[in-house]
Structure 1
Amino acid sequence: MRQPSPTAARRAAAASASLALAAAAVACAGPQSNDEGSKGTPHKGGTLSVLNIEPQTDFDPARLYTSGGGNVPSLVFRTLTTRNRANGAAGNKVVPDLATDIGTPSKNATVWTYTLKKGLTYEDGSPITSTDIKYGIERSFAAELSGGAPYLRDWLVGGADYQGPYKDKKGLASIETPDERTIVFHLNKPEGDFPFLATGTQFAPVPQKKDDGTKYENHPVSSGPYRVISNENDGEHLVLGRNPHWSASNDSQRKAYPDRIDVRSGLDSAVINQRLSASQGADAAAVTTDTNLGPAELAKVSGDKTLAARVGTGHFGYTNYLAFNPKVKPFDNPKVREAIAYAIDRSSVINAVGGTSLAEPATTFLPNQKAFGYTPYDPFPAGKSGNPQKARQVLADAGYPHGITVTLTHANADPEAGPEIATAVQDALKKAGITVKLQGMEVNQYRDAYKSVKKEPGFFLARWGADWPSGGPFLAPIFDGRQIVKDGANFNHAQLNDPAVNKDIDAINQLTDVNAAAARWGALDKRIGEQALDVPLFHPVYKRLYGKDVKNIVIGNWTGVLDVSQVAVK
């Protein structure tokens, strides 16, 4: 994902090394999907509270990044397609939402056609039309409404130069609306993943007459089961009530059990977990979508079966890894990179982020989920705790029989890229004759450095998360040479521009069969992995408490967080 880290992932590694024992104690205690909190028949009524750290800012479908905000936006904004609201891997499937199906592609996947369901209406009862969806997409190109995912600008014909409807009232010719229920998209290149992109909030309908630009976020017009009652301090306190014109008959994905959704943000993580643990008053019907368990909560859960039954476990397509810049010596030598891969001790790294309940070891760049095309491989086997003997041998082959000194850049205060992980790497590499000097940076300085072709360090901690569960948005931004950005935010850290890799990416993008595409992404991941352009470390796992009166817990792998569209409260 273009953002360095979603909130969910930032919190995944929040526990320090001191949590390892407590984390291990509860590794199997929390329910994996349907759990104790799901038992009982869910029913309508009541108020669901959402307690979060980060405010639900920019509550405008044009400005939200995909389905961000822990699923809250999807309560108000329906889109052409959506994620399947199901537990685990079943939640990785794309399904129809406003459209009758997930889209009809042309033979080469450069033209996608959608038909809207009949009887769709806004919160005021007025009909939703294909023109509204076209307008909603077009306004996402306006500079004053920036912030959303950039794919449409890259994929749509004419998208790169379009400035939005406030400046160009002609609109995008590449989006056609031949009638009120049909919308057709013309793309620059084949994109088999277009149905996944169509889940993004930019595909939510916006009636042009109700659009008041940057003020639209205060009261966007709802197409979902809930409408905005109030929005205080730019999403710090967001209250949603029922949309009287929403119909469950044409929305199979959202259950809409509670009468009211009260989202309060800007809270401290310890306060959130304490309130969920105590589960008193309104907090008994509360959840969080961005706060993992911390030290005190993990310890408490380990000895309390009642609390353990109220822990939801989530998995999300995300990989934390060591990145190399082969333009910087000695990392231009593949053998040096291979030696580091052999030397890495993944067990110590995982302990540094809280233990096996919060992280799973990674030897592949692609996340360990079938939807991404996960193909198990380990080109440089290090075992659980590293292979320093093999690393020394490879290092000698590289021309460094007496060892080598390198610098590892990390953030000073970042649970996913901070000194705890860096120190674990340093200790492991020392056993292989690799002396690691640590270079800490303030978080913003660190992110600016590793995203700059000119400033990029030779060796640093990195991570990547999925915009949707497919290998495309995972591998292409990191390894497609045409996506190297020399004067902006660059994520192709290895600055790899291999014509064969680029060609393979284009060929896979033409596939509309998700299983066939996944197999090809897995094969490409393996081929790239053999070049030691990175060293995968771990895939995070999320554990979060919820209130004792919350029922029908659904945590799909698409987001890894509790789906607020499914829960019911007593």
Structure 2
Amino acid sequence: MRRTSVISRRVAAASVSLVLASGVAACAGPKDESAGGAGDGKARKGGTLTVLNSDPQSDFDPARLYTSGGGNVPSLVFRTLTTRNREAGAEGAKVVPDLATDLGKPSKNATVWTYTLKKGLKYEDGTPITSADIKYGVERSFAAELSGGAPYLRDWLIGGDKYQGPYKDKGGLDSIETPDDYTIVFHLNKPEGEFPFLATQTQFTPVPKAKDKGAKYEEHPLSSGPYKVVKNENDGERLTLERNKHWSEEVDDERKAYPDKIDVRSGLDPAVINQRLSASQGVDATALTTDTNLGPAELAKVSGDKELASRVGTGHFGYINYLAFNPEVKPFDDPKVRQAISYAVDRSSVVNAAGGSSLAIPATTYLPPQDSFGYTKYDHFPAGKSGNAKKAKELLADAGYEDGLEITLTHSNAKDFETSPEIATALQDALKKAGITLKLKGLEDNDYKEKIHTAKTTPGFFLAHWGADWPSGGPFLAPIFDGRQIVKEGAGNYNYAFLDDASVNKEIDEINKLTDLDAAAKRWGALDKKIGEQSVTVPLFNPVYKQLHGKGIKNVVISDWTGVLDISQIAVK
């Protein structure tokens, strides 16, 4: 469940292309050697790739990283049981084996998953990778000293809710068995057909117990990937990666590892990053970013320059921006009021406030428009392009508000396109046409997050967003609509509508039993449509991300899993 604002600057949902100003699109997959650069255009090994990012690459420890599909930079060093398919577009939203020989063998009820490791896997020091190392890597992610990773293992593994990690509980987790060096077995509390997706998380990175240095392990984690860390300055502010000579492409079908060296510079100002990539001089000619996007003004400037436009990558990722209701606060306890607002919304003005049609796609479904999520098209409260004020007024009258209604919309004052004052103002103007006076309540970002995630302080009406930890309906719908995930005390609640529908909860359980991911996707789509009828959210838009890269970058691949340039495929020669 990606919950932080980091995603707001990184990724979004549906198809991928490299967009040119002339309107021609081209996107080179891993085997297409025609992207970027001079000469014959073929991607070759060698050179240095520079990564310019605004988000700090801190806590570079597989236990502490909250990534899906192995992330980007981490995926160069940390291999996992499974990983994302390193192809462009929808094909890249599939899960494939990594350290394991397959996606895992489930028991009949999907509560036991067995993995077999490939032969010939080695660390950067030449020692073999074993199943015991993966078990230990998972176990250390439970340690309080190494907090920050995804929470699923604590919830899914038998005994995970009580386990405190290997530094305190010396016996280890009995729910993970390693009968031999190549076999690892996971015992779960309940059926989880999407365990192959979970196994892409960096917590499944092998860590040899003898080399574990606790919180200091991040300074030089032992590499299982094509690159090793040779320098980590100021907690990830600058990472220098060089080839791991013991990595072999014979046992890694996904990573290309073209550059000899990768220089990762983090914590940079976004404007500076885009300026450097635009100029593309010196080392910046072979540079890219995985977290800094072009804003509306920057995109307009770039689009007017054919050469710059040819270096803009367009990415989509599973993400939704929406209006959230708390039905425990009046008047949002009345479905007719919620439906009236749904009809009154002007998505065209919202899209414009989010940066225009190049940066946002209007949405009427909660699930993003990707097959992997089970996207099922629906629009229960058709508002058209500019809102249906007439229908909204009729519903308000039925609810007893013939003379209109005054409500408050809470939003963050952070200057991003998700919960920004600009989007709030666009909604204010649209709802006014339907007789709804919208008062805006802007909060500092930390205060906003604390209020919406704490049950006792959740506003009645506010701007919200959600991004997927992997491309499936499971981590998208369950955290928001499963009544058993409501957190009533303290922070950490994401079911803002406090929806506790027995039929929804049951269907979530039934889908989780499915190990056929395509069949599960169809069920998630149907469930999304069913939940949508209750008007507990108003989907607004799916963001689109535009990122510049240097003129010497080759082999551009952007998948629907991450929505950003895949470093593992990039060549600079």
Query: TM (normalized to structure 2)?
Result: 0.95
Q: Which amino acid aligns with 2:116?
A: T
Contact kept in structure 1, 2:364 and 2:539, CA below 8 Å:
yes
1:454 aligns with 2:453: no
Shift of 1:217: 0.3
Residue range with higher mean Cα deviation, 458-467 or 36-45:
36-45
Distance verdict in 2 for CA 1:27–1:11, change over 3 Å: farther
Shift of 1:395: 1.1
SS of residue matched to 2:456 = coil
What is the CA deviation profile of residues 13-37 of structure 1, one whole-angstrom value per residue up to 9, with x for unaligned ones?
A: 9xxxxxxxxxx99695675665853
Separation in structure 2 between the aligned mates of residue 555 and residue 489 of structure 1, nearest angstrom: 32
Q: Which amino acid aligns with 2:451?
A: A
Distance verdict in 2 for CA 1:239–1:277, change over 3 Å: same
**2:347 — aligned with what?**
346
Residue range with higher mean Cα deviation, 107-116 or 295-304:
295-304
Separation in structure 2 between the aligned mates of residue 193 and residue 67 of structure 1, nearest angstrom: 13
SS of residue matched to 1:42 = coil
Distance verdict in 2 for CA 1:36–1:299, change over 3 Å: farther
Residue range with higher mean Cα deviation, 535-544 or 32-41:
32-41
Separation in structure 2 between the aligned mates of residue 374 and residue 560 of structure 1, nearest angstrom: 17
Identity of aligned residues (%): 73
**1:41 — aligned with what?**
42
Shift of 1:8: 4.0
Structure 2 alignment gaps of length 5 or more: 13-18
SS of residue matched to 1:184 = strand
SS of residue matched to 1:551 = coil
Quote the RMSD (CA, aligned, Å): 1.6
1:403 aligns with 2:399: no
1:292 aligns with 2:289: no
Contact kept in structure 1, 2:326 and 2:498, CA below 8 Å:
yes
**1:519 — aligned with what?**
522
What is the CA deviation profile of residues 356-378 of structure 1, one whole-angstrom value per residue up to 9, with x for unaligned ones?
A: 01010100000110000100000
SS of residue matched to 1:508 = helix
SS of residue matched to 1:550 = coil
Structure 1 alignment gaps of length 5 or more: 14-23
Separation in structure 2 between the aligned mates of residue 234 and residue 369 of structure 1, nearest angstrom: 36
Separation in structure 2 between the aligned mates of residue 539 and residue 365 of structure 1, nearest angstrom: 10
SS of residue matched to 1:283 = helix
Shift of 1:519: 0.5
Equivalent in 479, 482, 486 of residue 477 of structure 1: 479
Shift of 1:397: 1.2
Contact kept in structure 1, 2:69 and 2:83, CA below 8 Å:
no
| Counterparts of residues 213-292 of structure 1 (less than 5 Å) | 213-292=214-293
**1:495 — aligned with what?**
498
**1:3 — aligned with what?**
3
**1:114 — aligned with what?**
115
Q: Which amino acid aligns with 2:211?
A: K
What is the CA deviation profile of residues 498-556 of structure 1, one whole-angstrom value per residue up to 9, with x for unaligned ones?
A: 11110000000000001110010000000000100000000000100000110000000
Separation in structure 1 between the aligned mates of residue 419 and residue 20 of structure 2, nearest angstrom: 25
Separation in structure 2 between the aligned mates of residue 189 and residue 27 of structure 1, nearest angstrom: 52
Residue range with higher mean Cα deviation, 65-74 or 381-390:
65-74
What is the CA deviation profile of residues 286-334 of structure 1, one whole-angstrom value per residue up to 9, with x for unaligned ones?
A: 0000000135532322211111111100000000000000000000000
Distance verdict in 2 for CA 1:27–1:95, change over 3 Å: farther
**2:195 — aligned with what?**
194
Distance verdict in 2 for CA 1:206–1:36, change over 3 Å: closer
1:124 aligns with 2:132: no
Separation in structure 2 between the aligned mates of residue 461 and residue 31 of structure 1, nearest angstrom: 35
Contact kept in structure 2, 1:32 and 1:313, CA below 8 Å:
no
SS of residue matched to 1:569 = coil
Shift of 1:463: 0.2
**2:513 — aligned with what?**
510
**1:433 — aligned with what?**
435
Separation in structure 2 between the aligned mates of residue 25 and residue 286 of structure 1, nearest angstrom: 19
Distance verdict in 2 for CA 1:30–1:348, change over 3 Å: farther
Shift of 1:402: 1.1
Distance verdict in 2 for CA 1:27–1:408, change over 3 Å: farther
SS of residue matched to 2:457 = coil
**2:558 — aligned with what?**
555
| Counterparts of residues 58-69 of structure 1 (less than 5 Å) | 58-67=59-68
Residue range with higher mean Cα deviation, 293-302 or 423-432:
293-302
